[in-house]
Structure 1
Amino acid sequence: RPRGPAVMALLPSTVAVLGWWLFFGRDPTATAVLACGTACAPPSWQVVLVHIIAGLSLWGALLLVGLAVALCTRWRAPPRGFHERLERHQRRLDESVPYRLVRLGLGFVLSCFFGMRTYTKSLSDFEWALELLVCLVQLHPILLGWLRAFIEGTRVGVRFLCTSATLDTFLTASAIASAIPLEGGKSWVSLSFFAASHIASQWAALLRICDADKDALVLQALDAGVQLVSVTVFAASGMILVEELGDPAMFSVMNQREWNMVSALYYTVSTLATVGYRGMAPTTVLGRLFAVAAVLSGIAFVMVSVNKLNKLVELHSSGGATYVPGTDQRYVVVLGNPSAEAAQEFILEMFHPDHADDGDGLHVVFLLPRGTGVPQALARFKERPGSEQFRDRVHIFQGSVLNPADIDRVKVLGAECAFILPNMQCAEPVHEDTENIIRCMALTHASPDLRVIMMLLRAESQTMVERRKRAGPDVTCIIMDQIKLGLVGKTSDVPGFVPLICNLVKCVGEGDDEEQDENDDDDEGDTTKNASWQRDYERGLGNELYEIPLSDAYTDREALFTQVLLDVLARTDGTVHLIGLVEMPRRAGLQKRVLINPGPKYPIAPEGFWQTSGIFIAPDREAVVQCVDPSEDLLCGDRPPLTQDEEETDWDSVRDEPLVRRSVTLRASVETRGRGTRQEGEEEEEEELPAHDVDPRLLGVMRGPQRHKAKQLVALSKRRSKALYPPKPPTTVLAKGGHILFVCTGVGSTTDLRIGAEHFVSPLRQASTSKKGSVETPVVVMAPVVPHDWESVTQLSEVYFLKGSPLSEYDLDRANASQASVIFVCNIGNMGAIGNVGDAWAVDSEAVRCTRLVEAKLQPNAETVVVAEILAASSYTWLPIRTEQWRARSRLSAWSHLKSGLIDEAEEGMFERAESLIRSTAQTVHEELQQLRKVNHEGHNKSNEYNLHPRFASGQLFVGGILISLVANTFFNPSLNDMVMSMVSTNASAIKVPTRWVGKTYAQFLTHLFWGEGSLGVGLIRWAEQVGQERKSLGKRSIIRKTKDKLGNDANERHWAQRFPFVYTAPPASDTI
């Protein structure tokens, strides 16, 4: 791996040594063995032909070996992590500024070698060896890209050989061919001047890596100068080589007369270009008139052509071009109004290496509204280092799906799927959902068979889409507030539920020891990144949800769910976990059923009426191994005996009940849906008041349906009245503490606030009813205005509203935030849309400020869990784990004490501590400014690492980009959204591992849970300890007398430690507890 200072010091010294040797150190009389030395044969076309044949031979050899590699990878996958390590190594080289400088300098050196040989007409052994070494260095990244391309597929590899690898292949082969003797002897001629093109390409890459401002005048002039040098050196070298070679035999006849077809073409082109040719001119009158007409026509033609080119460039830059898919080319279309960061997250998820097989040859076409900066941001994103995999497979256009011309222009109706993404940072979510629903209606009207995956911001917007889906369109709705609030509400009762689900729906490459060692070298002292807890966490991070059809060996014998679970677990060495089933009906009138943990003795449905698939947690799809032979015994022991009730159970009738949902993750009982968990296609039941709550005189004049409707209307009216004046939290509830505080940030100036609180409270109430003797936890919602959708929680108990600002310390004290059990900082995001990814952090400014304010008020040993929501993934850098918050609070409190003037003169060393405080605070500000500069420089590459942060791993952070990952992965896994919703609506719980199971394998404890309690374990909650130290000042006496503690440590260093939980998702069965 290249190191910056070493390479930067080596580059000028190498150039200086080569320059001195070229002009002063060469010995022309030295005898050559491999090269021609001073007795070189004159250049000839035979020599050039040999060099061309050598280049074609090397290119063909790479093609044949690459095809063999591609064929082997089809038969047998490469070692796990090999492709990721290869990609990572290539990306590091591509993003290395010193490495790019070296390649640029070597390109210039090779061009100088060729220029010197045109004067000396000689080639020594040292020159030949040095030229070959430089060519091999230039070929190194080409070989890496060649191997990676052919591992991905034959088509990708051939395309790479025909584009990026051709130049360096001929360059290296020409250097080797210089040592081949011919009839007239060896020659000094080679194609080394081709390396002049590296000057321009490496310079352009340097500008991309450094994120240089291309609008700067100095940089534009420098860029033009470098491009001019590259073109001039290449053209001059090619010209002198052709002149040295002379005309071939077939062209020698043409130069016998001054005027011939070639000279006439040369004269005409130079005349049309208004350059002129002084060596020859027409002598006849008609010839001169024709030359004048040619000049005038040339000027007009150039002007018209330039105008057409400008219009064409403007058309393409404005996204007004036409998309022309290739033959049998797969592509998807992305519509809506996504932010730049959401669009980038979507691209990275669609082209993740985990989707290399399912997404082979897949293209993504964006049709974005005009007037936003998102297309320009995506264009810059495509040019960043590391985007070579999808740079040619992402197409950006501007227009509207409501315009038939735009639909035809981007070939929307021929796509495999259409995605409709909202702007999660918009100021009016209801208006945003309305626009996307209209887009969906336009698509389904134009093509009823087109698959549509749409993301909505509010669950209330789903009704119109669900009713239209009954007519047949294949529309999948992913509701942002329903999933987000359900996950956070569940994690309030089950620690770590948010990272558990989020990591299962997001593609994450598995780490390896090599990367960990390099990170340790690069980030010494960073206890957050190098903590040992990440090893277990990243193992679980590599697992994902997969829906795979079950083998006939299970369905034919009607195996129990437990048998299939244990059989798959045994065949995969405990790395793959079966957590549920997806049953697709083969007859009309039934709906698809997603069952998570249907129960230990639930039989797999036969193939007659149901098509059953398994829901697996696995590192990748290929890791799932099932029993294939129906005659083979299952690796799970004998089928357990059934009770009489279980034998008499009619499972077909149970499957035919469309309104029954089995509990998800742990408990295996059959129960009805909870409030707020309405299934797709199901109408919401209207509430009806008891008869004594309605005026009997009104009921007396009504009969039948009118009477029933009157009760419903009065019930709705009463609910609305309660919603206008929501109950305030009693003082006894706040004083007792232990409540859940739901604070709303980013509200802005809106009065139509909608928070969807029922999706947050319903999982909590569901968990309370499933636990015997449990008490409902009070929920206090704090917002500047009363939510407009408060009537959805009026029927739920222990839900209160407190009007106030979450950024006010006084209002937080009124809500007794310091003694709450859980504080959820909900980012409403009504601050306005942010189109530029560089300013995306602004939409999370209030949420970050509120989170840090709340945590600053907590005691160091407080057990309050603060869950923050951010919409921009890059904002996670401003929300460190609470250890850092506590340190910052200590400094802030001491500074406030000093500033207030309450100085105790008897307290020795106050001013010394103040000086140390100011220095440490300045150091903290400097570090944060450096972090901000780093985030702005690296952009989205670092924003994708939030799932490795301790705050996210402990369940104290929710990132809106997770929902974009869910949308993208639903394309590859159609039931993924149903799986997530089923897991959100489950009776999940965290069970403390008994002491007797400590030290035993996870498989033993998993079997005990499943058979003993009907519970299915999906992970372990472990505790990580983060340790660090900081210097502290103890006044004059402590500075003079540097004491040592009993362990010999410096007493001036204060050690701190912070413990936080993290989820180890689906650990291998062989791991010990």
Structure 2
Amino acid sequence: MDMDVIIPFSPDVPCDSNGQRMWWAFLASSMVTFFGGLFIILLWRTLKYLWTVCCHCNTKKKVGHVQCDGDCVHTKETVAALSEVGWMTSVKDWAGVMISAQTLTGRVLVVLVFALSIGALVIYFIDSSDPIESCQNFYKDFTLQIDMAFNVFFLLYFGLRFIAANDKLWFWLEVNSVVDFFTVPPVFVSVYLNRSWLGLRFLRALRLIQFSEILQFLNILKTSNSIKLVNLCSIFISTWLTAAGFIHLVENSGDPWENFQNSQALSYWECVYLLMVTMSTVGYGDVYAKTTLGRLFMVFFILGGLAMFARYVPEIAALILNRKKYGGSYNSTRGRKHIVVCGHITLESVSNFLKDFLHKDRDDVNVEIVFLHNISPNLELEALFKRHFTQVEFYQGSVLNPHDLARVKIESADACLILANKYCADPDAEDASNIMRVISIKNYHPKIRIITQMLQYHNKAHLLNIPSWNWKEGDDAICLAELKLGFIAQSCLAQGLSTMLANLFSMRSFIKIEEDTWQKYYLEGVANEMYTEYLSSAFVGLSFPTICELCYVKLKLLLIAIEYKSDIRESSTLINPGNHVKMQEGTLGFFIASDAKEVKRALFYCKACHDDITDPKRIKKCGCKRSKMSVYKRMMLACCFDCGHSECDCSCMSANVHHDSNTKDTLQQRGFPLSPVSLNDCSTTLSAFEEEQYSTLSPKKKQRNGDTRNSPNGSPKMMRHDPLLMPGNEQIENMDMNVKKYDSTGMFHWCQSKDIEKVILTRSEAAMTVLSGHVVVCIFGDAKSALVGLRNLVMPLRASNFHYHELKPIVFVGSLEYLKREWETLHNFPKVSILPGTPLSRADLRAVNINLCDMCVILSANQNNIDDASLQDKECILASLNIKSMQFDDSIGVLQANSQGFTPPGMDRSSPENSPLHGGLVRQASITTGANIPIITELVNDSNVQFLDQDDDDDPDTELYLTQPFACGTAFAVSVLDSLMSATYFNDNILTLIRTLVTGGATPELEGLLAEENALRGGYSTPQTLANRDRCRVAQLALYDGPFADLGDGGCYGDLFCKALKTYNMLCFGIYRLRDAHLNTQSHTSQCTKRYVITNPPYGFELVPSDLIFCLMQFDHNAGQSRASLSHSSHSSHSSSKKSSSIHSLTATNRTNRAKSRDSRDKQNATRMNKMGQEKTWFTDEPENAAYHRNIHIKPMSTSHSSHTANHQVNQNPYKSTNNHIPSIREVEDEC
């Protein structure tokens, strides 16, 4: 058979003149190399095996001869010879180091080999445009010379790899070795034959599989996703290019058995296209294989190619798309801060956070929010991010990974906020996760400010173990259990306060309602929020009540607290501090207003420019520059510095002062009703100004100018902050160094720890106690339930700014197994009892006289153990409905004299001057239905609030704050505390104010003590600790009688505000009004007893007699001096509902004389007999007087009322006693 197939050739190139193909020579060189080497390796292994078998017997004889002769020297020489490293081993180790990536030389060599392999592949792409086989002159062909140099380097590298290989056979069969066999020898054949054969050089594409390893050597690929992505891409591309090279070879060459006659001209890139469409769609038919070899290859390639395409391509696409979406890094915008939010990232938590953080009532929020979470968001959460795409970004990652923290630029973030899962089944595990997040973030950047949510109060102590945790630098932990129970505890003192505080610290938009309904007034108050702003220099030197009155009347702002800075003490937040504190320059005020712009008036206010302005909206920033001396001169116009008088014609005044002595009249003529004592305060202010210190708040430095506004009941010379200046009896009692009555900080009442058995009441004992005015806590829980932290509920009710006799007894009704677990944190609080039982038992509820309680609190520790959100609150809802459906006998007996709210300190309601009842005994209207019992129910799921009130028309989709139970203060959900995260970020003083209001006085120092001992530590009374008692507390003021009765019937709220502030230093901030009061219902029997909250009403808001006023009242030093003149000054909150039909006050039944000896009490316990009207005996720390009543004397600021004292005795109960003798109950309280 003639070989008539010729190849292209040129006369200039010495090639076969016949043009015969010599592809077999190139292929043979590769095959001979491969199989020849394989044969040599196998032959060497065979000979080595035979040699080992033959020499095995001689080796045994040699070893036996050594052992028998005992030639130690020969043995040592043998061991030394065996331990020597031969030159072959050294060369092998050197070659292994050269080709490994463990050294710099090895990494350079590996990268160089890969780069040259890619270069050789590029040369193949260039040569693929030429015929498969052609004559080439090595000395004139530049690409052949480069390819030759590359292959020489590959040959050397192959030798190094061969030397370093431990198993030569497996090395010979590796993919990289096979690539070298079929690419290196043909190059040398090309030089020898002066011809080129494209052949199998496409196998160099298989080197792309090592691309990910090269990038890892260069430390470019670090994450698993990036390594996986590069691996998939390199395998897919290398397989694709290699298969295309084979099709290109066989289709352009033809079948050998067809004498290469059936070839077709296809470029390499056409073959690449053919392979791609074959893998994806099995081809379109425009390009196809004609040769038998090509078609046979395509049959097998379709099987593997389709499988690889279907597997690799979707995975590659997913990795690329996910990486572009959430795997990048945050690029900060110049001039714009950003915060990082992590933790529990869900649709609910994020939507609640963004709704409050980006609220329109805030000033321009120029902050970007970066969310970091290790799980990609679902479609709903992704849509939420897109709606806020201008200010929100999401990145997938974990704060426990430093690389992810670097991606979100945590080192330049303004703060990091950590959200907690409030509904988790294991609160301690959730807190542990958040603490680990704090540790990770602080370890990466110790200076970052962190605000984290915590579920359990006792877990806050672990944060103190982090060295870089510093609350002074802005780090804050928002304990949801502490604040939730604190809010509920304050509602026990003033019902509805939890709703008011929750609305104040949440950003709510104003919803206008035209109809005259209770929702109209409620929503007007809801639009108010808490803001902070620095006070203008125009207020410097003025007392707090004066500034508060000016802000309310003229600026339409309600100032409730200030941040006071002293040279000798750190800055502290003072709530309604009274006039002993004079304002300094740069004082920060806490305001209640509808938006942040209104609060700017306090900063811009200037007396010279704005004194004549009546519209507060016109108060803008002015250009006045006031010096410190201008303050001094301004006060000199109002009072004389030398004599301290405010008389205009004082003889010691200077001429210029006489010239402007009409300032007082001018001020009152310009629309600002100054307090009668506003100008009288000037002498004190000037003295403090001259001493360059207005007040130090120290127990030793006090106001000594005779100002009586500090204490409504105090004498003109008694100072608020100096226990040493108290009257003798109280001073001796409080300074008793042998009795511990308060904890070591002086913030809470304390007693010796008691065993739980001493406070347990049986049902019969509780029924005979005839409890009233107490707090019933219904708690659901068992031995396995998570602890709710009842200490946070009890602590505000045991704050030291209450006198001992004012403390409301607390009775827990619930599982004894659960309460035993909580008792460790409760055993140091006085007046605490336990009734083992269940809140669903009506017998237990009747035993604790739930119809006579001031408040019933319903809690559950089992709420988060249920997956169904609708059933999480089933126990609390059932208990609430059970109580509301109870009926009570009308002949329960005469109760204690608890009125609707408290009567201001100093007023004797039995006095004919102050009480319309003239001391007459009036029977309190009994509760006959449980619907009138004051209840506050804790909910987990907001939507379950619809089940609490059956008579409301709340839609299930209504927001919690718009529902009737929440507006009335009978329901509370932990979700309302979500807004504290953003509120704390914008102003860390807000959280301090909240905790001061609701916790009763918890401080960072107290938290440190609790972290050490997990219990309050008793301390002896000192002037410093007793001074801590002098702080405000929240109460409710009744308007139906007393000094404010004239304003209760159609008066203005603003007049009440000014009168209470001027006369008693009481700061009013809201109204608790009957729901149907706006209807002017005359029939009290048909009027609804439910009340709702109105926050910060305007000046002209009309009052009704049944209103209760939320106010901040001062601590009354004299309330504990004599029991004959004391009463409950805190609100008896149950009267808000059950006495709405009667506006009469009640006098109290006589208490048992505490002067009885303990033997006498033991005798009473043995007989268990007493009268119906006798209450359970609670040991107190008050003087052991005779029976006392609950009437309070009002001592106004004017001297005309200073002589009033409360010496009226309450008559014995005139009502007929029952025939049943009720035994007295054993003492459950130890003497404190």
**What TM-score results when the alignment is normalised by the length of structure 2?**
0.47
Give 1:725 deviation, angstroms.
Answer: 5.1
Give the match for residue 843 of structure 1.
872
Alignment of 1:161-172 (within 5 A): none
Q: Does 1:334 align with 2:341?
A: yes
Query: 959, 977, 990: which is aligned to 2:991?
Result: 977
Deviates more, 1:990-999 or 1:538-547: 990-999
Q: 1:433, 1:456 within 8 Å by CA — same for their partners in 2?
A: yes
Aligned length: 656
* Partners of 2:349 and 2:861 in 1: CA distance: 17
Q: 2:767, 2:849 within 8 Å by CA — same for their partners in 1?
A: no
Name the CA shift for 1:875/1:322 in 2 (closer, same or farther; >3 Å).
Answer: farther
Query: 3-state SS of the aligned residue for 2:339?
Result: strand
- Look up the equivalent residue of 2:582 and give its one-letter code: P
* Partners of 1:1068 and 1:854 in 2: CA distance: 37
Q: Does 1:539 align with 2:539?
A: no
Q: Does 1:1066 align with 2:1080?
A: no
* Partners of 1:309 and 1:356 in 2: CA distance: 43
Alignment of 1:313-712 (within 5 A): 321-328=327-334, 330-337=337-344, 341-355=348-362, 357-358=364-365, 360=366, 362-367=368-373, 379-382=378-381, 389-390=387-388, 393-395=391-393, 400-466=398-464, 468=467, 469=469, 474-513=474-513, 532-555=517-540, 558-572=541-555, 574=556, 576-583=557-564, 590-600=569-579, 602-606=581-585, 611-624=586-599, 625-626=601-602, 627-629=604-606, 631-632=608-609, 634=611, 636=672, 640-642=679-681, 652=693, 654-655=695-696, 657=698
Q: Does 1:743 align with 2:778?
A: yes
Instruction: Encode CA deviations 1:5-54: one digit per residue, 9 max, x unaligned.
Output: xxxxxxxxxxxxxxxxxxxxxxxxxxxxxxxxxxxxxxxxxxxxxxxxxx
Give 1:645 deviation, angstroms.
Answer: 6.1
* Partners of 1:872 and 1:753 in 2: CA distance: 19
Q: 2:685, 2:694 within 8 Å by CA — same for their partners in 1?
A: no
Alignment of 1:73-112 (within 5 A): none
* Partners of 1:673 and 1:349 in 2: CA distance: 43
Instruction: Encode CA deviations 1:774-802: one digit per residue, 9 max, x unaligned.
Output: 64322101221224342444343321011
* Partners of 1:659 and 1:875 in 2: CA distance: 53
Name the CA shift for 1:643/1:439 in 2 (closer, same or farther; >3 Å).
Answer: same
Query: 3-state SS of the aligned residue for 1:823?
Result: strand
Name the CA shift for 1:983/1:1057 in 2 (closer, same or farther; >3 Å).
Answer: same
Q: 2:481, 2:792 within 8 Å by CA — same for their partners in 1?
A: no
* Partners of 1:450 and 1:599 in 2: CA distance: 37
* Partners of 1:544 and 1:651 in 2: CA distance: 35
* Partners of 1:640 and 1:718 in 2: CA distance: 45
Q: 2:884, 2:929 within 8 Å by CA — same for their partners in 1?
A: no
* Partners of 1:366 and 1:458 in 2: CA distance: 24
Query: 3-state SS of the aligned residue for 1:802?
Result: strand
Give 1:446 deviation, angstroms.
Answer: 2.1
* Partners of 1:1070 and 1:962 in 2: CA distance: 30
- Greater radius of gyration (CA): 2
Q: 1:422, 1:455 within 8 Å by CA — same for their partners in 2?
A: yes
Q: Does 1:757 align with 2:736?
A: no
Q: 1:827, 1:871 within 8 Å by CA — same for their partners in 2?
A: no
Give 1:1027 deviation, angstroms.
Answer: 12
Give the match for residue 1022 of structure 2.
none
* Partners of 1:1018 and 1:428 in 2: CA distance: 39
- Look up the equivalent residue of 1:592 and give its one-letter code: S
Query: 3-state SS of the aligned residue for 2:770?
Result: helix
Name the CA shift for 1:651/1:464 in 2 (closer, same or farther; >3 Å).
Answer: farther
Deviates more, 1:726-735 or 1:488-497: 726-735
Query: 852, 868, 875: which is aligned to 2:944?
Result: 875
Instruction: Encode CA deviations 1:76-98: one digit per residue, 9 max, x unaligned.
Output: xxxxxxxxxxxxxxxxxxxxxxx
- Look up the equivalent residue of 2:877 and give its one-letter code: V
Instruction: Encode CA deviations 1:492-550: one digit per residue, 9 max, x unaligned.
Output: 2212211111100111111134xx7xxxxxxxxxxxxx880010000000000001122
* Partners of 1:673 and 1:480 in 2: CA distance: 36
Q: 1:339, 1:425 within 8 Å by CA — same for their partners in 2?
A: no
Q: Does 1:310 align with 2:310?
A: no
Give the match for residue 933 of structure 2.
864
Query: 3-state SS of the aligned residue for 2:510?
Result: coil
Name the CA shift for 1:539/1:873 in 2 (closer, same or farther; >3 Å).
Answer: same
Name the CA shift for 1:383/1:718 in 2 (closer, same or farther; >3 Å).
Answer: closer
Query: 3-state SS of the aligned residue for 2:1037?
Result: coil
Give 1:833 deviation, angstroms.
Answer: 7.5
More helix by share: 1
Instruction: Encode CA deviations 1:622-652: one digit per residue, 9 max, x unaligned.
Output: 1222344464364646752227667656794
What runs of 5+ residues in structure 1 fail to find an aligned partner? 1-258, 369-374, 517-529, 675-687, 694-710, 885-926, 936-941, 1029-1046, 1048-1054
Give the match for residue 1024 of structure 1.
1075
Q: 2:274, 2:288 within 8 Å by CA — same for their partners in 1?
A: no
**What TM-score results when the alignment is normalised by the length of structure 1?**
0.53
Give 1:338 deviation, angstroms.
Answer: 6.8
* Partners of 2:577 and 2:610 in 1: CA distance: 23
Query: 760, 763, 776: which is aligned to 2:807?
Result: 776
Q: Does 1:959 align with 2:973?
A: yes
- Look up the equivalent residue of 2:508 and give its one-letter code: V
Query: 984, 992, 1001: which is aligned to 2:1038?
Result: 992
* Partners of 2:307 and 2:943 in 1: CA distance: 53
Instruction: Encode CA deviations 1:707-760: one digit per residue, 9 max, x unaligned.
Output: xxxx99xxxx99566246544374366534442111112x25427745333543
Q: Does 1:800 align with 2:846?
A: no
Name the CA shift for 1:356/1:567 in 2 (closer, same or farther; >3 Å).
Answer: closer
Q: 1:489, 1:764 within 8 Å by CA — same for their partners in 2?
A: no
Name the CA shift for 1:801/1:427 in 2 (closer, same or farther; >3 Å).
Answer: farther
* Identity across the alignment (%): 19
* Partners of 2:943 and 2:862 in 1: CA distance: 15
What runs of 5+ residues in structure 2 fail to find an aligned partner? 1-265, 613-671, 704-708, 724-734, 888-927, 1001-1031, 1104-1232
* Partners of 2:512 and 2:702 in 1: CA distance: 40
Instruction: Encode CA deviations 1:418-445: one digit per residue, 9 max, x unaligned.
Output: 1223332334434443443333233223
Instruction: Encode CA deviations 1:383-417: one digit per residue, 9 max, x unaligned.
Output: 66x87642675555665433334433444444321
* Partners of 1:343 and 1:806 in 2: CA distance: 36
Q: 1:852, 1:879 within 8 Å by CA — same for their partners in 2?
A: yes
* Partners of 1:959 and 1:868 in 2: CA distance: 8
Alignment of 1:998-1009 (within 5 A): 998-1009=1049-1060
Q: 1:667, 1:1016 within 8 Å by CA — same for their partners in 2?
A: no
Give 1:847 deviation, angstroms.
Answer: 1.8
* Partners of 1:457 and 1:338 in 2: CA distance: 16
* Partners of 2:785 and 2:289 in 1: CA distance: 86
Q: 2:766, 2:835 within 8 Å by CA — same for their partners in 1?
A: no
Q: 1:1027, 1:1058 within 8 Å by CA — same for their partners in 2?
A: no
* Partners of 2:692 and 2:812 in 1: CA distance: 43
| CA root-mean-square deviation | 5.0
* Partners of 1:783 and 1:767 in 2: CA distance: 29
Alignment of 1:236-251 (within 5 A): none
- Look up the equivalent residue of 2:774 and give its one-letter code: H
